[in-house]
Amino acid sequence: MALNPPPLKDVFHLSPPRDRPSPAFPLGLGEAGVHEVCEASHGDFAALTGFALAARTRSNGPVVWIRQASLKQAHGTLLRAGCREVTADLPPSLDITPRKLAEALWATEEAIRSGVAALVVAELEDADFTASRRLALAASRHGVPVLLLMPHTRDGATAANARWRLSPRPSSPNRFDPHAPGALRWKAVLERSRQAPHMAGHAFDLELDDETLSLRVVSGLATDPAETRPPRSQDRIGPAGFRQSA
């Protein structure tokens, strides 16, 4: 009896397509779809930058980094010397600084559609539901992961795959020198998730593996439910090694 050959899609799709987020943590962050990474408090933007670089999927393609002018003025630009602390293979990047939010959103969508970028990172003041929907559709259609780095004021509805609320944590103990900083750590709260809505509100304590320069969940602290985020007026200073004054 002749056996029917397997469908071509089963022959060639030996791994999940890029536009299908992984079911495991971090839910496709930096790998597929649109993810919003927002400050927990004012002053955490440097921590967002390091986290975005550590979370991105390693690829040979270039990164398009879009930075709205107001955020550049407030938080500075990317400091490439500091980026080597979290990534060993920082790819070529194209930096764009639009003046207005509408221009930044347009540039982000065009970067996704260009067919050149392996990753699009956009620092935006805000994005309404319609704008986030356009970016999500473009990212899904073209298979380009998108990270939106946004200030602590970000709130409201979104069409992004997930929204993360990020803050820096004290570094891990240094096994060679107790007075020196250890591995970088972040606390990421999953506020919204279209892929795993049951995980919304969970906090993940993450650490940068110094050997592989990749993120790992700190054992025993991965699924603590996050407390309600109170409004805080005071500024906090995050790791500043990834940004420099504009």
> How many domains does the chain divide into?
1
Does residue 41 surpass a pLDDT of 90?
A: no
* Residue 239, pLDDT above cutoff 70: no
List the CATH number of the domain containing 149. Answer: 3.40.50.300
When pLDDT is averaged across residues 50-55 and rounded to a whole number, the result is 81
Evaluate whether residue 137 is within a structural domain: yes
The answer to whether the CB of 169 falls within 8 A of the CB of 161 is no
Is the pLDDT confidence value at 222 over 60? no
9 assigned to some structural domain: no
**Which pLDDT does position 232 carry in this prediction?**
44
Residues 86 and 216: beta-carbon distance below 8 Å: no
Question: For the segment 153-191, what is each residue's pLDDT rounded down to a tens digit?
Answer: 998 899 998 899 988 888 777 778 878 777 788 888 888
Q: Residue 45 is part of which domain span?
A: 25-230
Q: Are 170 and 45 in contact (CB under 8 A)?
A: no
Average pLDDT, the chain: 76
Question: So what's the pLDDT on residue 74?
Answer: 80
* Residue 168 maps to a domain: yes
Q: Is the pLDDT of residue 223 over 50?
A: no
- On whether residue 2 sits in a domain, the answer given is no
Question: What sign has the CA pseudo-torsion 84, 114, 124, 204?
Answer: negative
State residue 181's pLDDT score. 76
Per the domain annotation, does 1 fall within a domain? no
Would residue 72 count as lying in a domain?
yes
Residue 19 in domain: no
Q: What is the DSSP string of the chain?
A: -PPPPPPHHHHH-SS--TTS--SSTTTTTTTSSEEEEEESSTT-HHHHHHHHHHHSPP-SS-EEEEE-HHHHHHH-EE-HHHHTTT-S-PPPEEEE--SSHHHHHHHHHHHHHTS--SEEEEE-S---HHHHHHHHHHHHHHT--EEEEE-TT--S---SSEEEEEEEEPPPBPSS-TTSB-S-EEEEEEEEESS-GGGTTEEEEEEEETTTTEEEEPTT-TTEEPPP-----S------TTEE--
Rg, Å, the chain Cα set? 18
pLDDT at residue 225 tops 50: no
The predicted-structure confidence for 104-158, as pLDDT tens digits, reads as follows 999 999 999 988 888 899 999 999 999 999 999 999 999 999 999 999 999 889 9
pLDDT score of 22 more than 70 = no
Q: Does residue 236 lie in a domain region?
A: no
* Cβ-based burial of 92 (10 A; exposed 0-12, middle 13-18, buried ≥19): exposed
